[in-house]
Amino acid sequence: MFKLILVSGEPRDAEYILKPGENIVGRSRSVEIKVSAMDVSGRHARLLLEGGVVMVENLSQYGTFLDTEPVEGRVEMKPGSLLKIGKTTELQLKYAGESTGESTGESRGEKCKGETFFAPTLTVDAGYGDDDDDDDDDDEGATRTMQTRAATPDEIQTLKDHEVRRAKRKVIVIIGAIAVLLAIGVIFRPRRPPPELEIEWPKNKQGAYQHRFEPGPSGGIAKGEYDLRYPDNGTFKKGELVGGYMFSGFVGRDLNVPVRIFLQEEVDLRLASMTQPQIVSDWIEMVSGGGGVWRFNEPSTLAIFFGEKNGIPYTRVTYLRDDNGSWFGVASVFRHGRRRIVARAEAPANEQVRVENMLSSRLIYVADELEFSYWPYTQGLSALSVKDELDEVRHDLERMAPGTWMSLDKQLCALLSRVVPQEDAVSEKESLRLLSKLRESEALWFNSQQLSFESCKLSGDLKMARKVSVFTKGVFSEMSDQRYYTVRKWNLEL
């Protein structure tokens, strides 16, 4: 087993035992390894413990460093290595058997959980006993006697002493009652909730996310297109925009942090001939000249996708803009045919640390039809005519040979990159039909391979599981396909 020791930062010398599988490091309360530095992202880095090997992966735009070297992709972390996140936070990987003489971060947290309150107790003497009661009867009789005779000095003093005792008893009872009420007030006083260090997507009392879906400008999932997701906490209102719409509302425990969610589509034939990086840089240039002051960070290089099958890759880019206030935002940009689709969410810039993870949530949910018909711009070198190339693809599709699927996929993407700018509608329609048919076959075959892999794992036949993994990895060999990354995680599970 492995553990991480916090050698620099707070809480100093805290230890965290790595569990098998995924371990997230960050400032969010939901992560496995929580640090408190303000310059650390909510989800800053991912550590994967599989097969006695620890792999580290950067999740933050601010970067992660392993022994002073920036982490790019997944990098193996060896015992003794230093993982640096933020400016001052460093964690060292060690074997779990090594002792530091300090308690772990978890045990240190447990010491703070149990506060004990002791209610003061007070014993009150509520009476004088039987002798005093007899004295009361005698005094009362003496009083009746005094109606017919003058009281003696001793009788007068007895009455005074009795009244003093009664007054003292009352005072003691009142003081005791006040003390008990104060103790109860201290124990059951309303406690202020802890500060809301990170604002999350709204949840109901059962912990389920609260969200609604709005069909995209070209149609929703029900029509083979996509939906936009936004919080469903009763505060968000829809407004119209050129090429789309926006939702404005509030988030946070007290619903006091404004958030805007935008969705816009642009249709232009020139977009069909752009790569994904060109699509993003062109959008940045367009909005920068459209009003307000925009400051963009470098676009993310991580492979992220909309959809659950082959996936539609998109690029995430963060920005600050000044327009009726200063706003921090996260934009998700992707192209589909002639369309550029941009979904972005933003909040006041002074709330960036608390809302960045929420704004980075997936906002677009796509239909299978849209996912299957996605094609990246691909330059082809075929000397065949469009008709001959389509005939060749039709013939190869009939063979149902998984080993040829990725090359056919790439061939159809290159064909679409060729005929769409030429506005050859007939060839475009047939190419999309063949591409969707191919993607449907890929999805069915991949599901069967995944079931076979899981079955081999459960039965303990790891040798066959590895064969399934190797074969599937050989089929899905293109990094533009989401399954390229999925199947490569299988080996980590063995």
Spatial distance between the Cα atoms of 434 and 425, rounded to a whole number of angstroms: 14
Neighbours of 252 (CB within 10 A): 19
Q: What is the pLDDT of residue 262?
A: 98
Q: What's the rounded Cα separation, in Å, for the pair 172 and 123?
A: 9
Give the span between the Cα atoms of 284 and 274, in whole angstroms: 14
Tell me how crowded residue 113 is: count the other CB atoms within 10 A of its CB.
Answer: 6
Q: State the pLDDT at residue 99.
A: 54
483, 473 in Cβ contact below 8 A?
Answer: no
d(CA 276, CA 301) in angstroms, rounded, equals: 11
Contacts 24+ apart (CB under 8 A), 196-200: 196/252, 196/253, 196/354, 197/27, 197/29, 197/354, 198/27, 198/28, 198/29, 198/42, 198/354, 198/357, 199/251, 199/252, 199/253, 199/257, 199/351, 199/354, 199/355, 199/358, 200/30, 200/357, 200/358
pLDDT of 133: 40
211-372 CATH fold: Protein Transport Mog1p; Chain A (3.40.1000)
Beta bridge partners of residue 240, listed in sequence order: 245
Pairing type for strands 304-306 and 312-322 reads antiparallel
CA distances from 420 to 186, 404, 439 (A): 74, 24, 20
Which pTM does this prediction carry?
Answer: 0.62
Q: Which two tokens mark 333?
A: 């940009």
Closest C-alpha to 439, from 366, 489, 385: 366
Say how far apart CA 199 and CA 257 lie, in whole Å.
9
- Which pLDDT does position 148 carry in this prediction? 44
What is the chain's pLDDT, residue by residue, as a tens digit (494 residues)?
Answer: 889 999 988 777 889 999 999 999 998 988 999 988 888 999 999 999 998 899 999 999 989 999 989 999 999 999 999 999 988 899 999 987 655 444 343 433 333 333 333 333 333 333 334 444 444 433 333 334 334 455 677 777 778 888 888 888 898 999 989 998 888 887 877 777 788 999 999 998 888 999 999 999 999 999 999 999 999 999 999 999 999 999 999 999 999 999 999 999 999 999 999 999 999 999 999 999 887 899 999 999 988 999 999 999 999 999 999 988 899 999 999 999 999 999 999 999 999 999 999 999 999 999 999 999 999 999 887 788 999 999 999 999 988 789 999 999 999 999 999 999 999 999 999 999 999 999 999 999 999 999 999 999 999 999 999 999 999 999 999 999 999 999 999 988 87
**Measured distance CA(317)–CA(299) in Å, rounded:** 5
Fold of 2-111: Tumour Suppressor Smad4 (2.60.200)
Beta bridge partners of 346: 260, 329
Q: What is the pLDDT of residue 137?
A: 39
